[in-house]
């Protein structure tokens, strides 16, 4: 059996100010004190009880180590759709089996810039929702995830908005926008995929996100 690929060797897609692809770079090289804008994603996994799967990033990670955040985040590779990247990273980080058809795009044009410990994240980061059955099995990779928990979405939202729960900079900003979509994640409307950044429109049309 061949060894698992080193995540630091993955390529990320670099973006211009309009969100169009302008090249690629190794993930290990791109995250510095002056990180260029690049393409990413976030996904919020909700079970049938309305609980959010939250994860704490491994303390060995170079970017934002030990931070509590949403279910799964990552970067699509060159030519990879966002949905394919979500599925790939959910499996790699959490041992969570998702399918592209189970994903709903909810924030197509989310963007942020944040810094921790001298390392900057600077991303266009569309946000997805995935709904899974209660009791879904997880096998977190300790190199990526220190711990996981299921928290009622309303509790996570309210504590983040009140400032009583410290979470990643991106999740904090995302929660403020997600709260405007309604109280029940199951009722959040699917976003218009044409609002995705140009680099995220993989394939012959923008329906394959």
Q: Are strands 38-39 and 111-116 parallel, antiparallel or unpaired?
A: unpaired
Structure tokens at 131: 């709904």
Q: Which residues of 52-68 are buried (b: 16+ CB within 10 A; e: fewer)?
A: bbbbbbbeebebbeebb
Catalytic positions are 73, 123
């Amino acid at each position: 059996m061949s060894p698992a690929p080193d995540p630091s060797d993955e390529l990320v897609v670099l973006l211009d100010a309009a969100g169009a692809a302008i090249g690629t770079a190794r993930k290990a090289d791109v995250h510095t004190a002056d990180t260029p804008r690049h393409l990413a994603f976030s996904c919020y996994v909700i079970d049938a009880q309305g609980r959010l799967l939250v994860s704490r990033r491994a303390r060995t990670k170079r970017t934002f180590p030990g931070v509590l955040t949403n279910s799964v985040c990552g970067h699509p590779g060159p030519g990879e759709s966002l949905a394919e990247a979500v599925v790939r990273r959910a499996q790699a980080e959490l041992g969570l089996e998702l399918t592209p058809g189970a994903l709903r795009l909810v924030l197509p044009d989310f963007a942020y810039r944040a810094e921790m410990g001298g390392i900057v994240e600077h991303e266009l980061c569309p946000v997805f929702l995935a709904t899974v059955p209660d009791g879904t099995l997880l096998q977190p990779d300790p190199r990526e995830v220190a711990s996981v928990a299921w928290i009622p979405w309303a509790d996570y939202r309210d504590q983040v908005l009140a400032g009583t729960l410290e979470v990643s900079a991106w999740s904090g900003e995302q929660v403020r926008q997600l709260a405007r979509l309604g109280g029940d994640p199951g009722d959040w409307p699917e976003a218009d995929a044409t609002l995705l950044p140009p680099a995220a429109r993989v394939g012959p049309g923008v329906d394959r996100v």
